[in-house]
């Protein structure tokens, strides 16, 4: 049996630069009503960039929402009607200086489907060319490369906790091993 929730009413209560928030009143399969808080997001991309030495390019940045610094794969928000592959190339170059014309889509993943419609397109980038990073003016990131074995240990030891990074890395590790 498929359980669907019919939207009876939808109220947008916040419209921001990065996301919007709406409250939906839904009819449940048992004919009762409930409210759902939905975060609307335009989507994002993330890139697992693998060097010729078989290391992965990471960015280190402070994340205010969780009040700590994270080690992540390069990522960024899609602009309106932007092609995800083009966004992935742009974000990789902006955050790390690396460029690649050898990119493939690894997977698409919904980050938190319980309350958000955000979807991230995760790409694998190979045959990298190093250039100069050019992060957004409100973005403070440092890039570094890490071996696959060390990344696996860092995930196991909870030193890497970002879900898009773990998903992208494990997809890459499985594909390249």
Closest CA to 46 of 22, 26, 71, 72: 72
Candidate list 15, 137, 139, 149, residue with the active-site label: 137
Q: State the Cα–Cα distance between residues 139 and 130, nearest whole angstrom.
A: 20
Q: Are 86 and 78 in contact (CB under 8 A)?
A: no
Tell me if residue 79 is catalytic: no
Q: State the Cα–Cα distance between residues 126 and 172, nearest whole angstrom.
A: 11
Secondary structure letter of residue 116 according to DSSP: B
Return the active site residues. 137
């Amino acid at each position: 049996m498929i359980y669907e929730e019919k939207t009876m009413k939808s109220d947008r209560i916040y419209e921001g630069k990065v996301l919007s928030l709406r409250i939906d009143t839904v009819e449940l399969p048992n004919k009762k009503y409930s409210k759902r808080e939905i975060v609307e997001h335009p989507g994002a991309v993330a890139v697992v960039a693998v060097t010729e030495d078989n290391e992965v390019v990471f960015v280190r940045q402070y994340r205010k929402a969780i009040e700590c610094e994270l080690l992540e794969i390069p990522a960024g928000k899609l602009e309106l009607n932007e092609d995800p592959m083009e966004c992935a190339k742009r974000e990789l170059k902006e955050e790390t200086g690396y460029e690649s014309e050898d990119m493939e889509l690894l997977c698409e993943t919904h980050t938190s489907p319980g309350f958000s419609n955000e979807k991230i397109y995760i790409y694998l980038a190979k045959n990298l060319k190093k250039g100069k990073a050019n992060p957004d003016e409100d973005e403070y990131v440092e890039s570094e490369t890490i071996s696959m074995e060390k990344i696996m240990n860092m995930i196991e030891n909870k030193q890497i906790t970002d879900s898009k990074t773990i998903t992208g890395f494990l997809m890459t590790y499985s594909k390249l091993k």
